[in-house]
Homo-oligomer: A and B are copies of this chain.
Amino acid sequence: MGIIRISDIENYESKEIEIRGWLYNRRSSGSIKFLIIRDGTGFIQATLIKNEIEKEMFEKIDNIEYESSIKVIGLVRKENRAPLGFEILVKDFEVVHKAEENYPITLKEHGVGFLMNYRHLWLRSPRQNAILRIRAEIIKSIRDFLDQNGFILIDAPILTPAACEGTTTLFETDYFGDKAYLTQSGQLYNEAAAMAFGKVYCFGPTFRAEKSKTRRHLMEFWMVEPEAAYVELEESNEIQERLITYIVGQVLKNRKRELNMLEKDISKLKLIKPPFPRLSYDEAIEILKHNGSKIEWGDDFGGEDETILSNKFDNPVFIHRYPINCKAFYMKPDPQRPEVALCADLLAPEGYGEIIGGGQRIDDYNLLAEKIKEHKLPRENYEWYLDLRKYGSVPHSGFGLGIERTVAWICGLNHVRETIPFPRMLNKIYP
């Protein structure tokens, strides 16, 4: 008899097995008692029948609080009414630890603020379990896609001496007498790595000390940032299309149970396939004006603008060629029309808005030096970055995909706070 995990139960029909987990729920119906046991991989019904188990055990089970840890031994049998299609007919059990009576999270509704204070326990709920399993699947699919497509993981540093775009939204720390900042993006380092390895990506936590409370922002979030030498804007967009399609495909294939648990409309995800529509910024502005937005050419999109645009399409949509002033100093101006940048953001459908920001980088030394000056950045911090345009500069592009926003879209959540195990929000750093 083996110790198995609930997610594997279908392979053990009619076999005697042991499950090690926790008591999630129970109900009783006279001579039958039903336990719901969770082990982290799933939830299974374990049935105790009065005349088929020792009397003492049949009674003892009533004295155990929810979330007690328990080992259950029994026979796996088909049960079409059970969520996994199987149940365990209990022959024996052992209580490893009797939980205290006052488990704070009950099966009734709680407010999110309350639940966030108990995030360490809230993770045990079926919904949070499903979301974070999908998150893990998304991350794995991104890494697999990039590894299979010749991108090499080159971790960018977290502690950096300089900011991409000013220091007002940076977390600062003392670095042995110098100032250092928590990274907002690994991109500049990625560019150095792309000139050394051709195609690279970094994948790590990034930080933004913005005093904003929106459903799309966290102070600490994860981002994957691919960067490729000899790749121009359109090829970069094509890589993104393929990546997003791959992610969605893998989640549909491997995490269908979790999507169902979240009551996600899977039919929407099944529509995702290349090519994704491409709208110029100019076209997007026209659409927004027709829809009553007060946006003017030159403005960046607000959250509501993104929602309007992304609701127009089944697929994610690229918005390309933003005004150069909306974008970071390193964005390459379109040679045909220097007031716009060779850039594209990707908006997720169903109103989710931006999940990717990307573009082609300035490859000319003089132009880049000028832009650094124009943006009043401390040139001495960027000498190494300028070196990349002195020695073998090439056209190159890259993008950053926000993990939490991608998870929110794929899971159908209206706030990013549940998409990461321990969210860091304004005034919220416990647990």
List chain B residues, Cβ under 8 A from A147: 140
From A363, A387, A395, name the one whose CB has the most chain B CB atoms within 10 angstroms: A387
Residue of B nearest to A160 (CB): B429
A interface bracket (residues with beta carbon within 8 Å of B):
35 or more
Residue of B nearest to A382 (CB): B431
Assess whether A230 is in contact with B20, with CB atoms less than 8 Å apart: yes
Q: For the complex, give the distance between the alpha carbons of A384 and B424 in Å.
A: 16
Assess whether A154 is in contact with B136, with CB atoms less than 8 Å apart: yes
Assess whether A195 is in contact with B394, with CB atoms less than 8 Å apart: no
Residue of B nearest to A363 (CB): B97
Question: How distant is A213 from chain B, measured CB to nearest CB, in Å?
Answer: 11
State whether the Cβ of A41 lies closer than 8 Å to any Cβ in chain B.
Answer: yes
List chain B residues, Cβ under 8 A from A160: 429
Question: For the complex formed by this chain, how many copies does it contain in all?
Answer: 2
A394 in contact with B133 given A40-B196, A161-B430 (CB within 8 Å): no
List chain B residues, Cβ under 8 A from A363: 97
Assess whether B197 is in contact with A40, with CB atoms less than 8 Å apart: yes
A431 in contact with B172 given A121-B391, A136-B153 (CB within 8 Å): no
Contacts A/B (CB < 8 Å), 30 sampled: A40-B197, A40-B198, A41-B198, A68-B391, A68-B392, A69-B393, A97-B363, A99-B391, A100-B390, A118-B384, A120-B384, A121-B192, A123-B154, A129-B196, A129-B197, A136-B152, A136-B153, A139-B153, A157-B422, A159-B219, A159-B424, A161-B431, A172-B174, A173-B182, A175-B429, A178-B429, A192-B431, A193-B421, A204-B204, A381-B430
Q: Chain A residues in contact with chain B, CB under 8 A?
A: 5, 20-23, 39-41, 67-69, 96-97, 99-100, 103, 118-121, 123-124, 128-129, 132-133, 135-136, 139-140, 143, 147, 150, 152-161, 171-176, 178, 180, 182, 189, 192-199, 204-205, 207, 209, 211, 219-220, 222, 229-230, 363, 381, 384-385, 387-388, 390-395, 420-422, 424, 426-427, 429-431
